[in-house]
Amino acid sequence: MTIYIGLGTNLGERVLNLHNSKLFLEASIGSIKAQSSIYETKAWGVEGQPDFLNQVVAIDTSLTPPQVLDTMLAIEDAMGRVRERKWYTRLIDIDLLLYGSLIIKEDNLAVPHPYIQDRNFVLRPLAEVAGDIVHPVLKKSIKELEAACLDPLEVWAYEV
């Protein structure tokens, strides 16, 4: 199954944080078959934070959605993520965006990610690797969602 995972970081060595998270993902979830460019944006949700770097990876996995979630949370913990408050600074944030065309709504797991359509910093890199994929709930392609997104935060390519 191909899944799409969003990565974000705004603390420490941000490029290294993305790199290390991808190493953990490949070692524990599956092979990365595609990855977007790295994008930079102002923080979404809470102002006054350092800028974020974001990236999306496509991974082939045999894990179930709950196993993927548990593994992603373990990777965040292993990398030193501290959860101070919602939408605040973090060494790494790993989000399951899409798991094939599955729709899951549970207390601790929502697939597709409920905010995909609201965030340019997710849509831009996701469109790069999966622009023609149709959102299983909204029934629009990722490119269409990106074109219609009302998020005012600019997203720009980050030069490594």
Catalytic hit among 51, 70, 81, 151 = 81
Please say if 81 is a catalytic residue. Answer: yes
Among the options 14, 83, 95, 151, which is catalytic? 95
Which alpha helices (H) appear in the chain, and where do they start and end?
14-28, 65-78, 120-130, 142-148
Please say whether the beta carbons of 35 and 129 come within 8 A: yes
Nearest CA-CA partner of 79 in 28, 35, 20, 23 = 20
* 124 catalytically annotated: no
- Of 14, 90, 119, 124, the active-site residue reads 90
Q: How far apart are CA 36 and CA 40, in angstroms?
A: 12
Q: Active site includes 83?
A: no
For residue 151, indicate whether it is catalytic: no
Q: Which of 93, 119, 124, 151 is catalytic?
A: 93
Residues marked as catalytic: 81, 90, 93, 95
